Structure 1
């Protein structure tokens, strides 16, 4: 049975998009991050959580190599789109586990944990929203493990495109805007996230376009046949 039709396998086209709506009325400060700069770095103390007001970020984790003289291996572990929350990786240990790097000029809303914690204790809906956001991150990490551990390259790329388009559409619908799928990340970023070679990602995207599943013009992507892509 194909994974997309197996009821025991999570569907990649079901977005895990949880908006931290209960903080909207609170005048938290914002911060602008220039493309390529880090919002925070691995091992820095957790001071705040952040929601993306505009732009996009990637989380980059580093792992030591067996050879002590070699540079650490790095891999992109997440992409954070409009309205999504960053900084959750620091809740367990009090320190961030990855770098959060802006993929384009971006703006984030800063929510200091010293303020969030008492608010969550006093206001149950806010606590529930934060738990939902954390749960979504856990499920998304499990999906990535499934993709990397069981899916061939073609299915990895298709699952990534379905997840990305669903998340963008969810944020656009909440804002009452028309969703346009523009890839903020490079093909090299996608390859790192999916554990593939750059050439493999490029070939797979080209093949999906030839088959009529997607339309691709530079970084502008259109899902032409969602059903075909879901069963890639």
Structure 2
């Protein structure tokens, strides 16, 4: 069961959060940063496998991950599920609801997760007073659109091995922003979930991981990935169809 936590003076706020360099607006003075405490007044803890929200639920907030990992996915009328994103600490999700006031996807925790809640009414009010915050919101929305376009490009134009190479390089860059190794990191999603996100079957995804390891591109141990040949992964993205 999810648990809501109201913040108080003793809580960690945006000004002293170790993830501030990822999700906080750049170019803000110390006084403006302190005002961000007005924006994040509560956090939510979501146990592994639990939903934070579902498609069609009323949306009055966006979320930034403090710890853990979130998966978003959509479903059609036949019950087929398509994963639309994986979100790591410091990353913001739920942006697709800002225009409609309803969530357009499900959000579920891939591990025990804690998120910061930013109510959209508070966000709109504070953005008018703090231009860097408004710029950050615009940047996040632009990033969300770009991410969606990249996923469509991957599904429509890239070969299966290129999709996996692109995914691994993207995860490497995102873990680097968190201060972790760019070469070795642990994925919280399963091979099946990776395949779903990339538009591949579980069999194809497993075969590609085995192929990449056999060719010396990566080393895998359960869900831990070690990139051995980054250049080769980049080169895969440059190759054309035979």
TM over 0.5: yes
Residue 53 of structure 2: aligned partner: 40
State the Cα distance separating 1:122 from its structure 2 match.
1.2
Q: Distance in 2 between matches of 1:78 and 1:24?
A: 29
Q: Is the 8 A contact 1:36 1:104 kept in 2?
A: yes
Q: Whole-Å Cα distance in 2 between the matches of residues 220 and 102 of structure 1?
A: 19
Matched, 1:153 2:160: yes
Q: 2:63: which partner in 1? A: 50
In structure 2, the gaps of 5 or more residues are 1-20, 26-31, 237-242
Match in the other structure for 1:209: 213
Partner of 1:4: none
**C-alpha distance in 2 between matches for 1:165 and 1:104:** 19
Answer whether contact 1:183 1:219 (CA < 8 A) is retained: yes
| 1:119 equivalent among 119, 122, 126 | 126
Contact 1:214/1:224 (<8 A) preserved: yes
Deviation at 1:24, TM superposition (A): 6.1
Q: Which SS does the other structure have where 1:148 is aligned?
A: helix
> Is 2:105 aligned against 1:102?
no
Deviation at 1:148, TM superposition (A): 0.2
User: Judging changes above 3 Å, is the alpha-carbon distance between structure 1 residues 94 and 107 closer, same or farther for their aligned structure 2 residues?
Assistant: same
1:77 aligns with one of 84, 98, 105: 84
8 Å contact 2:98–2:120 — kept in the other structure? no
> TM-score, normalising length from structure 1?
0.84
Q: 1:221 aligns with which of 206, 220, 225?
A: 225
Whole-angstrom CA distance in 2 between matches of 1:92 and 1:120: 16
In structure 2, how many angstroms separate the alpha carbons of the residues matched to 1:225 and 1:119? 45
Q: TM-score, normalised by structure 2?
A: 0.81
Cα RMSD for the two superposed structures: 1.6
- Kindly report which structure 2 residues correspond to 1:124-203, keeping only aligned pairs within 5 A, or say none: 124-172=131-179, 178=181, 180-203=184-207
Larger RCO, structure (CA 8 Å, separation 6 or more): 1
Match in the other structure for 2:10: none
> In the superposition, relative to structure 1, how do residues 138 and 198 fare at CA in structure 2: closer, same or farther (>3 Å)?
same
- Structure 1 segments unaligned to the other structure (5+ residues): 1-17, 65-70
**1:63 paired residue number:** 76
Task: Measure how far apart 1:19 and its partner are.
Answer: 3.0
Q: How far is the alpha carbon of 1:147 from its aligned partner? A: 0.5
Distance (Å, rounded) in 2 between the aligned partners of 1:133 and 1:216: 32
Q: How many residues align?
A: 205
Measured after TM superposition, the shift of residue 178 of structure 1 is: 4.7
Q: 2:24 aligns with which of 21, 30, 33?
A: 21
Work out whether residues 40 and 99 of structure 1, in 8 Å CA contact, stay in contact via their aligned partners in 2: yes
